[in-house]
Chain A
Amino acid sequence: MKYLDEFRDPELARSLLAEVEATVTRPWSIMEVCGGQTHSIIRNGIDQVLDDRITLLHGPGCPVCVTPLGIIDSALEIAARPEVVFCSFGDMLRVPGSDCDLFSVKARGADVRVVYSPLDAVQVAADNPDREVVFFAVGFETTAPANAMSVHMARKRGLTNYTVLVSHVLVPPAIEAIVESEASRVDGFLAAGHVCSVMGTGQYEPLAEEHGVPVVITGFEPLDILDGIRRTVAQLEAGEARVENAYPRVVTSQGNQSAQDMLAEVFTECDRSWRGIGEIPSSGWRLADEYRAFDAELRFGVGDTAVPEPERCRSGEVLQGLIRPDECEAFGRDCTPRSPLGATMVSSEGACAAYHQYRRLDGVAVSP
């Protein structure tokens, strides 16, 4: 099938694997940044068939996983208000706050709706002028342009009952924080193709140059990822460290200028807390001053308060590639998708969820 089968071909996969094996001369650790890549790697068993000398580390790029507990609690508080219609992408509904999730609030009578585009939430606001409609604007550079557009459209339509609860985070500062950490064991990065399709490739060039790490931009199909690994290994073995675009069918060096313009108009850069990791300077977006009237935190008087994570949850170390999910003592025992301690277990893109879902035959003990 066009655009899917081409990137799942087993024969091509075998030739890429053979090329990696022929090139590699010593152990290397490569981090895939995005949770979608992690999911594809574990689901397809790429790490099982890869040369033993290559270790894949799972990175911080799961938008559900890194949304701070304080923001989730704010979302739950706003959603529970009788005047509010709370709109969210579906996979945020299962993420646990301090004591419940959006599904539970909905079951208690809150008007929580799954939307597939923030523009749908704007339409809900237009259709319900006597209600306060709040959209949970989370995610990386991929979702931010459409979320920004929703605010822009709400203002254009004169809607005063639409606000957004913003928790946007940016990938490059997170990569920088990881690579600068003394505990880091990352030799090269597979950057997320869809982030680069918006922002372009340029922002990774200083990072590759200053820190001496190859950054290869890849897609999400098995062959995309194998090709990314092949190119990263080739750079590492040759002693090179540059940005390489292995996803040219989607990514250009400039990215999407219209999306970037919309982001620049509606958002402004800010420091952000990352769940399990902590605050990273200049790693997120908030609404620009002229759009503050659309800020749900201000409208409802909730703030991103620091809320302690469960002590036994090591998702922060998982998100930074410091441990594998099954190296956490709680994995599969006290922490399962049905009863998660952290968001990496609950998100469909979370590394812990991927291990729990696909890897139980590898001697990983889990509760029934």
Chain B
Amino acid sequence: MIDPVDPAAWVCPLPLRNHDRIVTGHGGGGQMSGELVEHIFLPAFGRSAVAGLHDSATMDPPVDGGRLAFSTDSFVVSPLFFAGGDIGRLAVNGTVNDLAMSGARPLALSAAFILGEGLELAVLAAVAESMGRAAQTAGVKVATGDTKVVESAGDEVLYINSSGIGVVPPKVDIRPGRAAAGDAVLLSGPIGEHGIAVMSQRSGLEFGTGVQSDTAPLAGMVASMLGACADIHVLRDPTRGGLAGALCEIAAGAGVGIEFDEDSVPVPDEVAAACAFLGLDPTHVANEGKLVAIVPADAADEVLAAMRSQPEGEGAVRIGHVVADHPGVVAAYTPLGALRVVDQPLGEQLPRIC
């Protein structure tokens, strides 16, 4: 872990001292932009990560074979800081996990910031520091970046786009189309924590809960799973759209059906209570540190054991299987023994009237 940094100690006497908030000049590409890099991003991400501040970072090609994986994602979460995480940590873990879902070992990330005029520099510094820590934990470098400033009407605007490059080991072939009838469906732990943690602190909806975001890097656990079975068919992190969204995408992508047992899906008590209160389905609520794995049935126990051997997967369970029936459709057995369709949420999750 890198040591905590006091953002105030980074700031040079001029001109950052004149600006405790982001102004348009910070995005102009001139001295003020450079000072943001010098005094905020480099201390947070590590000077060695950025090779000479060129327009692009360079790195050596992988020597052990395999294929490159390349992924990008944008992060616009509100609020910026929530129980268990913040937008910076989310950006790193999110991109690391996107790479990991193809079985890749992440090598390097980019960090592009879009900042609203008026954002406090201390907020930016705290987010950058959190990104640096998350990158350190995930074993990945933040190798390149960018900053733009946009006009904003007093709101706290901070968006991050992060792309990542990783290496997929030879013979690993993980993609939705490989889900096949008979495969086992594994889930790495309890669902719904990230979505409820963020919603509980969202303006206008604040409610008391001890739920913390599950945001975590999953590449280490994936490496362990591949050690148990190199022939993992599909991995997917159930982020927006939740478990239901991830399974529906897999079913549609492979043209197979998926069935799971509702009772086997772990839902923490506080998540279940919040969902009941808001009229939401826990399988639709976002996660940031979980994965779904579709694996050959005869390898399921070994992969499950590998997941449980890692802190991110200690609550891993087998929830169902892939079927040849109802291609493209996910279905769940209810506690009463009925079979119901599990659909993707249509759009934004909206709490009901009553």
Contacts of B279 in A (CB 8 A): 36, 348
Asked whether any CB of chain B lies closer than 8 Å to the CB of A359, the reply is: yes
Known: A10-B336, A48-B338. A357 touches B352 (CB 8 A): no
Give 1 or 0 for each of A95-125: 1 = CB within 8 Å of chain B CB.
Answer: 0000000000000000001111000100000
Give 1 or 0 for each of B261-301: 1 = CB within 8 Å of chain A CB.
Answer: 00100000100110010010000000000000000000000
Interface of B is mostly: loop
Asked whether any CB of chain A lies closer than 8 Å to the CB of B63, the reply is: no
Bound CA–CA A49/B339 (angstroms): 10
Report yes or no: B326 in contact with A8, Cβ–Cβ below 8 A: no
Q: Which residues of chain B from 49 to 81 have a CB within 8 Å of any chain A CB?
A: none
Report yes or no: A91 in contact with B336, Cβ–Cβ below 8 A: no
Report yes or no: B336 in contact with A44, Cβ–Cβ below 8 A: yes
Bound CA–CA A42/B338 (angstroms): 10
Report yes or no: B353 in contact with A1, Cβ–Cβ below 8 A: no
Q: B285: shortest Cβ distance to chain A, in Å?
A: 14
Q: Kindly identify which residue among B205, B263, B272, B340 contacts A116, using a CB–CB cutoff of 8 Å.
A: B205
Report yes or no: A63 in contact with B329, Cβ–Cβ below 8 A: no
Bound CA–CA A46/B352 (angstroms): 22
Known: A48-B338, A359-B340. A1 touches B269 (CB 8 A): yes
Q: Kindly identify which residue among B335, B340, B347, B353 contacts A222, using a CB–CB cutoff of 8 Å.
A: B335
Contacts of B341 in A (CB 8 A): 357-361
Q: Kindly identify which residue among A4, A44, A45, A91 contacts B353, using a CB–CB cutoff of 8 Å.
A: A91
Q: Kindly identify which residue among B205, B326, B329, B334 contacts A44, using a CB–CB cutoff of 8 Å.
A: B334
Asked whether any CB of chain A lies closer than 8 Å to the CB of B351, the reply is: yes
Report yes or no: A142 in contact with B354, Cβ–Cβ below 8 A: yes
Asked whether any CB of chain A lies closer than 8 Å to the CB of B149, the reply is: no
Asked whether any CB of chain A lies closer than 8 Å to the CB of B350, the reply is: yes
Asked whether any CB of chain B lies closer than 8 Å to the CB of A90, the reply is: yes
Asked whether any CB of chain B lies closer than 8 Å to the CB of A152, the reply is: no
Asked whether any CB of chain A lies closer than 8 Å to the CB of B154, the reply is: no
Report yes or no: A139 in contact with B354, Cβ–Cβ below 8 A: yes
Report yes or no: A36 in contact with B205, Cβ–Cβ below 8 A: no
Asked whether any CB of chain A lies closer than 8 Å to the CB of B343, the reply is: yes
Known: A4-B272, A361-B331. A114 touches B353 (CB 8 A): no
Residue ID in chain B nearest A64 by CB atoms: B353
Interface residues of B toward A: which range? 20 to 34
Asked whether any CB of chain B lies closer than 8 Å to the CB of A151, the reply is: no
Bound CA–CA A93/B337 (angstroms): 34
Asked whether any CB of chain B lies closer than 8 Å to the CB of A236, the reply is: no
Q: Kindly identify which residue among A8, A36, A93, A358 contacts B335, using a CB–CB cutoff of 8 Å.
A: A8
Report yes or no: B353 in contact with A120, Cβ–Cβ below 8 A: no
Contacts of A231 in B (CB 8 A): none
Q: Which residues of chain A from 1 to 30 have a CB within 8 Å of any chain B CB?
A: 1, 4, 8-10, 13
Known: A4-B276, A361-B341. A10 touches B335 (CB 8 A): yes
Asked whether any CB of chain A lies closer than 8 Å to the CB of B9, the reply is: no
Asked whether any CB of chain A lies closer than 8 Å to the CB of B204, the reply is: yes
Asked whether any CB of chain A lies closer than 8 Å to the CB of B14, the reply is: no
Report yes or no: A43 in contact with B336, Cβ–Cβ below 8 A: no
Report yes or no: B350 in contact with A94, Cβ–Cβ below 8 A: yes
Q: Which residues of chain A from 125 to 174 have a CB within 8 Å of any chain B CB?
A: 138-140, 142-143
Give 1 or 0 for each of B293-322: 1 = CB within 8 Å of chain A CB.
Answer: 000000000000000000000000000000
Asked whether any CB of chain B lies closer than 8 Å to the CB of A233, the reply is: no
Asked whether any CB of chain B lies closer than 8 Å to the CB of A338, the reply is: yes
Further contacts, 12 of them, CB under 8 A, given A10-B336, A63-B354, A359-B341: A4-B273, A9-B335, A10-B263, A44-B340, A45-B336, A46-B336, A64-B353, A89-B353, A92-B353, A222-B335, A358-B340, A361-B326
8 A–B contacts, CB within 8 A, in A order: A1-B269, A48-B338, A91-B351, A91-B353, A116-B204, A140-B354, A222-B335, A348-B352
> Footprint of A on B, CB under 8 Å?
204-205, 263, 269, 272-273, 276, 279, 326, 329, 331, 334-341, 343, 346-347, 350-354
Which 6 A-B pairs rank lowest in CB-CB distance, beginning with the nearest? A45-B338, A90-B350, A48-B338, A142-B354, A358-B340, A1-B269
